[in-house]
Structure 1
Amino acid sequence: MSTDTPHPPQGGAAADAARPRPVVAVTMGDGAGVGPEVTAAAVTSPDVLARCVPLVVGDAGRLRQAARILGTDAEVVAVEGPEQAVGQPGRIDVVDLGLLPEDLPWGELSAVAGDAAFQYVRTAAELATAGRVQAICTAPLNKEALHLGGHRYPGHTEMLAELTGTEEVSMMLSSPRLRVIHVTTHIGLIDAVHRIEPGLVERTVRRGHEALRRSGIDAPRIGVCAINPHAGEGGLFGYGEEEEKIVPALQRLTADGIDAVGPLPADTAFYLAGRGDYDLVVAMYHDQGHGPIKVLGIEAGVNITVGLPVIRTSVDHGTAFDIAGTGRVRTESMVEAMRQAVELSSAG
């Protein structure tokens, strides 16, 4: 069976039934964390199955354990690749890499689980770049376990950039009330201020603008944060970073017709975005953007890697070792991540 014509959804309007569902590769994340549970819950969700054909890349044995913990009676079926995935109720299709021992403890750091998490992402990236799946959705991995497993990446974003040969990408966080894209992410604050320059700011805004257009917003309204408190307060705070590093980028963007406003004091930018004035906020560094988005919607938050040659979304939470294996994890974020993966892949 061709991956371009996966099985139609069960039920629904005739027009929807005739439209092929994209195949979404779902990486299981760290097998010692909540990844197997949120994956098993999301890929059996009727809403997800109506939109796509989910294909887990992970460990069939661990998924069976997770399904039992959740009280799900879905059959876990090992398949060779996307061509064998059917995306039907009561069934979880998985490319089984078989890397985890059956007795892997829940909630404990494991080099084996860290290496396995990397191998799931590597396999999914290969499937996506070959055009055999239309999007990737990732369950959380643990950075310390990843490093113990021999893979020195700050996170999924940087890993996927290298695996796909992409020089520069951006992290976008999306929640029901707010979207944020980051100019810099997993580096220290002093390094972030040093790295910010007009070209990077401009490219980040353009990536965010294009991502929103792909998701159906024809004319995105973008608020761009300053670096310093009160946007520097006319030179009272900082050393003129706003005028040097941000203003030139905004001038070029507005000249091209992109609605990007700033530099705005961050507290003002997020307040205005929260009430609906902006479709997207551009944060200059990690915590400037992550704090507000997590306060407003971590349960349904989604992480989108913008600039890759493939669609990639993820949950906006971690491995939650403290509750892994208990069935208490909330799964809304994973379901929403898959919904947005389908939306972006369909708009491409």
Structure 2
Amino acid sequence: MDDKNQTAVTELHFVGLTDNFPQKMILFLIFLLVYLVTSGANLGMVALIWTDSRLDTPMYFFLSHLSLVDASCSSSDAPKMLSDIFPAIKVISFMGCAVQMWFIGQFAITECFLLATMVCDRYIVAICNPLLYPVIMSQQVCVQLVAAPYAMGILNAIIQETFTFCLPFCGPNVVNHFFCDILPVLSLACADTQNNRLVLFIMAGTIVLFSGMIITISYVFILTAILKIRTANGRQKAFSTCSSHLIAICILCGTLFSVYVLPESGSSLDINKVISLFYTVVIPMLNPLIDSVRTKEVKSVFWSKFERKIE
């Protein structure tokens, strides 16, 4: 085999976010707190929904999987990021980089389609046909609607990993990021990456635009349905249910679009490091707080279990 087709790089070094020690201290404390809140809130939400029959409904079934995906996405990069804040040399093995890239890519795309599925569920069934909701959303339908986003996430990961790690990497080995993201890793390849970037652009653009289109169309109909509600209290309740969900969707789709679809510039890798914090750190923490905890049923179940523990 030709030497230039063999991978010479066995480990990669991250640049990280900053070299300033006081800033490192602040970032470590912030990211540690965020990660603990994210893991506790999301895994707690999963446990609460899966163990209490009062939350055995399609909506909470979707929310439990959203929380599971958020916890998994956060755990794909946060522990490594925390351990790398203080060391001068931030090392990850080549195989470890591939594994990390797989899981982050898989869970980010899964979340996009899962959020789109939840929006469709809220409009098509919960708002337009509330009386038929339990009939239409059978257990089999719910499982299929959850399995599809996972399948899309896995498909995306397979394609991106195959195209990326078939390239030769012979040095340099410094990744201008705090985790193994596809664009900074591609910049290290000892080969032409134009085809890889084209595939990434097409896939990311299609996924974000397709899921965004579904979400946008659904929310147009949701807004129309809300405006038809006669009572002001009913309109406010329906709008409140959807508005927090829309905030998380806009942040997720907007950050993914700006990182993977918009044209690159000379400073884009540095900017993308900051932007990527939103879909790897902020969104996984926000979802259980603005989308689940605000729900009366979840709060009621939580406090009833809490009071039972105290007694």
Instruction: Return the TM-score normalized by structure 1.
Output: 0.27
The structure where helix makes up a greater share of residues is 2
Instruction: Return the TM-score normalized by structure 2.
Output: 0.29
The structure where strand makes up a greater share of residues is 1
